[in-house]
Amino acid sequence: MRTEKTRLLRSGEVAKRLGLHPLTVRRWVKEGKISALPLGREARIPITEVERLLGEQRAGMIVLYARVSGHDQKENLQRQVQQLEQWALLARTGQKTRTLSDIGSGL
C-alpha cells in the first residue's frame, strides 16, 4: 500500500508541463489516453500520469519475489532468484533491488 499522497493537477497545469493546449489534455482524458480522477465537474490528473507521458521514472526499489511450494524444490527457488536478479540487472539497470523468497504450500 502506498502511503505517499499522489499530487493531483488541473488540466491547465498538465498542459503547461507537457507543452500542449488545455483542450488537448481534456480530450485525451475523455479518450482515455490520460487517467484522471473526477472531482465535481472537473477532473484531476495524477502527477504520475505526467511523468509517464514524459517518460520519467520515479526513483524506487524493485522487489523481486520467488516462491516454491516445498522444501524439495530449493534448487528451483535458487534458479528463480538468479533469473529474477539477472532480469533486474539488465532491464532495470541502476535501480535498487530487494529479493524475497518463500517456501510454502500456499494452502
Active site residues: 69
Is 40 strand, coil or helix? coil
Closest CA to 100 of 71, 63, 72: 63
Angle at 26 between CA 37 and CA 1, to 5 degrees: 25
User: Are 9 and 3 a contacting pair, CB within 8 Å?
Assistant: no
Three-state secondary structure readout of 42-78: EEEEEHHHHHHHHCCCCCCEEEEEEEECCHHHHHHHH
